[in-house]
Amino acid sequence: MRRFLPLNIDLGLLVLRLALAAIILHHGIPKLLNFGGTVSGFESMHVPAPALSAAFATLAETLGGILILLGVAVDVAGLLVVIDMLGAIITVQLPKGFGGWEHEFAILTMALTLALAGAGAYSFGGRRIE
């Protein structure tokens, strides 16, 4: 197959990690800084067990985002984000149709890809992908 760029899986994983970490930290840090408001928001969206759900989402998006950014325990962090996004899709976004949950689905697939592939060589916890 003709390639226009040299194959560099480790660099691709780095780009994916940095993009995903930026997105989920952008959503997780405000949840952490205003946890009461996050719980209230979850209540208003009729999310089951809003305090517990908000705590899980905050943990997945802040701690998970930091771990993904650093490339440490990416499999665990990725699975936390996958569960978080499945919860968002099922409890809030699904009735809106694909246009309502495509953002969460994209994040879910990015996180699942990292959980399956690993962090790559350009990370604190990774190894070179052959």
Please list, in sequence order, all residues whose beta carbon lies within 8 angstroms of the beta carbon of residue 120, skipping any fewer than 6 positions away.
9, 10, 11, 12, 13, 14, 17, 71, 126, 128, 129
Q: What is the pLDDT along the chain (130 residues), one digit of tens a residue?
A: 788 888 899 999 999 999 999 999 999 999 999 999 999 999 999 999 999 999 999 999 999 999 999 999 999 999 999 999 999 999 999 999 999 999 999 999 999 999 999 999 999 976 655 5
User: Helices marked H in the chain — which ranges?
Assistant: 9-33, 35-44, 50-70, 74-88, 98-117
- Residue entry with tokens 């949950």: 101
Instruction: Read off the pTM.
Output: 0.92
- Residue entry with tokens 């990292």: 114
